[in-house]
A and B are shown apart, each in its own frame.
Chain A
Amino acid sequence: MIETHTSLLLVVIPLLAAPVTAILPNGRLPWLLTLAVSWLCFVLAIWQFMQVMDGSVISYELGGWEPPWGIEYRIDIVNAFVALIVAGMAAVTLPYALLSVEQEIPKDRISLFYATLLLCLDGLLGIAMTGDVFNLFVFLEISSLSSYTLISMGRQRKALTASYQYLIMGTIGATFLLIGIGLIYSETGSLNMVDLNNRLPAVFEHRTVHTAFAFIVVGVGLKLAMFPLHLWLPNAYTYAPSAVTVFLAATATKVAVYVMLRMVFNVFSTGFAYVTPTDDMFLLLGVFGVVFASISAIGQKDAKRLLAYSSVAQIGYILLGIGFASALGLTAAVVHIFNHALMKAALFMAVGALVYRIGSSHITQIRGLGRQMPWTFGALVIAGLSLIGVPGTAGFISKWYLVLAAIEQQAWVIAIVILAGSLLAVIYIWKLVEALFFQPAIDDTKSVREAPLSLLVPTWILVLANIYFGLNTELTVNAATIAVQVLENIPQ
């Protein structure tokens, strides 16, 4: 039975667990349940991924309504890959969350916190599973509303402003997406992605479809923090509780990138994106995103904020990959979705461990801590190297494919921008390393202990994964290659 229902179970299990968690007594029980659910989802996601690894497609109709009328969950390798990232990151983040959340969230809100986290996981997995554009919007709202709540639970009062800012921007994004979906529905009378792909070419000339496309690209662009629509992101990541920052940084923008890929390449078609100036726009915004966000990152005074700006820059790389309009570029984009999740989660975890010990991530406050917390510091350095793209780390693989794609197109300027982006990353990562290791501690007499094991182990799992996927590219690149074939071909 589980075999046929895998895709649905991935959505239903967190959905059932969320209300149960909400009524559990505060304490460690809600965490335990959330942990169990996230691991279960991870196992299911791995299993599902292996089923579609060969390029096959699993279709699941909800409520016994045949697609295209009913909602269909349509799992190909792209969905399964994104679901694997989301479930995997949740599974690694939750052991980390226990102590960090106990310290940062008021005791009487712990069960509600985990219920919200489960809803967020549910929404993100739902986006990855569904083959229906309206259902996708609903899941996007579930994940967004729960992430606004999660961000607002940060311990500083500024978390409320950050959350509100994200709420406004995110709602505009979601509304734009909905307007776009409404317009294509009015043109084709369908909401099913495969069906839309068949019906849309007939009306490609219509102004309505072009308008819909613009609304969808801008709306999803807001959710994925596409430069210059990224303004909500630095505050949201800075003031959210550490565990939330880790989870959202690793999954939320990645899932939004997936939505963009799905919408542009499968709902509309590869041809449509390349006839309109969309690909040039992606290239342009990607270049500006990489350069400006990296430079902004250098100027930041807060470690979390610095990494948040770096996330915007990394989204720029992914956009470059999409904009190249070639198989190689898309492969780079898909690989980077995975690798960036790994490295940014590891970095935010390391910074979260600092926050756990000293209660601040401000660069003047973390001075000299590297020597007192060597394991945390080591994780930060290695994940930082991966972010820069040093050979032997996961980051190198995505940069390598990206540069190859640029050379293939003879886009020398962009190749230089990619390399310059890495150099800028060297500067901002060095800024952290310098503060942590080479500057004297503010207070020499006060000794800070190494972070507890439950924070270190998940961090190091991700750090080792960064190295593993930098040496063994079989899984990521193979999956990405097949995923690109799925994205570029019109599905049967």
Chain B
Amino acid sequence: MKHNLILRVIAKLLIPIIVLYALYVQFHGDFGPGGGFQAGVIFSVAFIFYALVYGIETAERVMPESVLRILASLGVLIYAGTGVATMLLGGNFLDYNVLASNPIAGQHIGILVIELGVGITVSSVMLLIFFIFAGRARQ
């Protein structure tokens, strides 16, 4: 790995941009094309790229498997929890209108929050799958 200087420099340069782009896709999802699924995949690509260049052990130190498992569950809980929250506020399941006093603001909040849940779950599951397959070589 020591000799791949260009690769390492470019990776360090690109990874923040990839993460930034993922966040853009994530939070622009309510207006433009995009959303949690695509953003989650792009986000995990940054980590996979890092793992490819710097080795899996280094990547796992940044993002341990135990944390990924909790994040994967957390995303689903955020999604379903939003639905339950709307029910507690008197609406139907996932009826975002009741999330804010203004229905339009409510729709914005609702879609952003559930897409965040999707994004967290998708990116952590992508990484889990990658680590599990990549880790098989070590065994």
Contacts and interface: CB of A to CB of B under 8 A. Distances in A.
Interface of A is mostly: helix
A12 B95 CA distance: 14
Contact of A63 (B69, B73, B84, B93): B93
Scoring B72, B77, B92 by chain A CB atoms within 10 A of each residue's CB, the highest score goes to B92
Interface string A1-37: 1000100100010011011101100000000000000
Interface in B61-107: 69-70, 72-74, 76-77, 80-81, 83-84, 87, 91-97
B91 A12 contact: no
Scoring A1, A18, A23, A62 by chain B CB atoms within 10 A of each residue's CB, the highest score goes to A23
Contact of B92 (A15, A20, A61): A61
A64 B95 contact: yes
Interface residues of B, number: 19
A19 B97 contact: no
A22 B69 contact: yes
Given A1-B87, A23-B69, A23-B70, A18 B76 contact: yes
Given A1-B87, A63-B94, A20 B73 contact: yes
Given A12-B83, A12-B84, A5 B73 contact: no
A282 interface: no
Contact of B93 (A12, A19, A20, A23): A12
Contacts of A18: 76
A61 B73 CA distance: 26
B96 A63 contact: yes
A18 B73 CA distance: 8
A60 interface: yes
Contacts of B72: 19, 22
A1 B92 CA distance: 10
9 contacts: A12-B80, A16-B81, A19-B76, A22-B69, A23-B73, A61-B92, A62-B95, A63-B94, A64-B96
Interface of B: 69-70, 72-74, 76-77, 80-81, 83-84, 87, 91-97
Top 8 A-B pairs ranked by shortest CB distance?
Answer: A19-B73, A64-B95, A63-B94, A19-B76, A23-B73, A8-B93, A16-B80, A22-B73
